[in-house]
Structure 1
């Protein structure tokens, strides 16, 4: 009998950028599969090139990239990899970004500022991504920046088990680094059975990477401080 047989099963393809290939290797190992090799290069002009050694046509592709320094290079590499998948006829493309790039720039604090987290979502969409997967977004509203599904995963279940085994609640204090993280810190405080403390800090928007601590609400003297932040 001639014709095309359709099984209805999607073929999983995992690809990774060069920021943290060891993480992608571990993900592939947990899934019982292998990474599709990517020929990724950086030219002398600093332009990035990416090509897949195997066919990805009709596949369910996941592009894994960590966004550490230099963040702009790794972001651009992931965008190029997504574009390559789109042009190679992948059926569905999921961006896997454990740390969402530019997540802290999720709103305008002053006039004439960008909302860079929204820009990144637009870039992923323009490149061809159908879905984004990330962990512990800086702010939940980032999910609404992307015109498509966003899988917002939480590290708490895994970390909670680890800290319950390693930390003594009798000598522990959960500390919120600012007022914006009080809700998250309160959850950790309840789960770990430890008291809560809050840092009152101020940040000068004109000075990068500097904060001033004005006071601490709660008892931290002699305690093991556990800071809840992302």
Structure 2
């Protein structure tokens, strides 16, 4: 049985369509003081329940709280197994203590999902794969790379293509991407000013990009500061064309304005997060991950190997 909160119902409907099932009713409502309430519209006793909720499309705390409430309601309604499907996992960037007296909020979110009653978690392109270790139950960590790779293959000749990681931390994913396409690899050395959030300075490019078409690959685009700074540096180093590709289009302000005015010619993201109409610009192309998530849900439901179904390509 499939259910969704209010964060991204369009994606949940698409996933349900691939699975040929109907989304159930959660009857989610909000009280005058902002508290939320959920009551399932049918019996879920003994059912295999999948609760789809991306942590965005509304304030991230509201999206997360909705999912926790739906999980708790399912647990108390005697569901046999509860799987939290989080296409975008909130707080994933707070996965370690970079300085003293800081929280590890990605671990806190894992604990809350567990305590609420989730028996399993499905997510797409976690900020770091180590977040899987924050859970004591199974985590199916899917990747959208095959979808992005296919987009590159259909976009034209890849002979002069260079896959560029906007920082050293993303080199591993960029290398996998480049190997699939038979493309060259480069990365941008970046500096984050200490104590200043969402600010980045690109300093130099490691690798040859002169006369090449470059694709900047990242797991997410938030304020677009990193990706725009990297694109400007690539152009200065002689790149003929720059695209940006990412799984998660968070696109917090002032991302759209930055992308619109940047040297980036095309931005490719997936629909793990909704893209409101006011953020839809000609540069942005959205690819669907619904079939990917639907296949994972089907494998979990049938107690089949997720990695075998995807041939190891869609799971990390």
Q: Measure the CA separation in 2 of the matches of 1:146 and 1:205.
A: 30
Which residue of structure 1 lines up, in the alignment, with residue 172 of structure 2?
183
Which residue of structure 2 lines up, in the alignment, with residue 36 of structure 1?
24
Give the alignment of 1:26-105 within 5 angstroms: 26-68=14-56, 69-105=58-94
Task: From 163, 179, 197, give the equivalent of 2:152.
Answer: 163
- What secondary structure, in the 3-state scheme, does the structure 2 residue paired with 1:216 have? strand
Which residue of structure 2 lines up, in the alignment, with residue 193 of structure 1?
182
Which residue of structure 2 lines up, in the alignment, with residue 143 of structure 1?
132
Greater CA radius of gyration, 1 or 2?
Answer: 1
140-149 or 168-177: bigger deviation: 168-177
Q: Measure the CA separation in 2 of the matches of 1:147 and 1:182.
A: 28
The alpha carbon displacement at 1:43 in A equals 2.2
Q: Which runs of 5+ in 2 are unaligned?
A: 220-316
Aligned length, in residue pairs: 218
Q: Measure the CA separation in 2 of the matches of 1:104 and 1:199.
A: 19
Q: Measure the CA separation in 1 of the matches of 2:156 and 2:33.
A: 49
Which residue of structure 2 lines up, in the alignment, with residue 17 of structure 1?
5
Identify which of structures 1 and 2 has the higher relative contact order when contacts are C-alpha pairs closer than 8 Å and 6+ apart: 2
CA 1:167–1:205: 2 relative to 1, 3 Å = farther
The alpha carbon displacement at 1:196 in A equals 1.3
The alpha carbon displacement at 1:192 in A equals 1.2
Q: Measure the CA separation in 2 of the matches of 1:203 and 1:47.
A: 38
1:116-153 Cα deviation digits (max 9, x unpaired): 11000000011011100011111111111012111111
TM normalised by structure 2 equals 0.67
Which residue of structure 1 lines up, in the alignment, with residue 119 of structure 2?
130
Q: Measure the CA separation in 2 of the matches of 1:206 and 1:74.
A: 27
Q: Which runs of 5+ in 1 are unaligned?
A: 1-12
Q: Measure the CA separation in 2 of the matches of 1:201 and 1:23.
A: 34
Q: Measure the CA separation in 2 of the matches of 1:216 and 1:78.
A: 41
The alpha carbon displacement at 1:222 in A equals 4.5
Q: Measure the CA separation in 1 of the matches of 2:203 and 2:81.
A: 49
Which residue of structure 2 lines up, in the alignment, with residue 218 of structure 1?
207
What CA RMSD, in Å, does the superposition of the two structures yield over aligned residues? 1.3
Indicate yes or no: 2:142 matched with 1:153. yes
TM normalised by structure 1 equals 0.91
- What secondary structure, in the 3-state scheme, does the structure 2 residue paired with 1:148 have? coil
CA 1:70–1:222: 2 relative to 1, 3 Å = farther
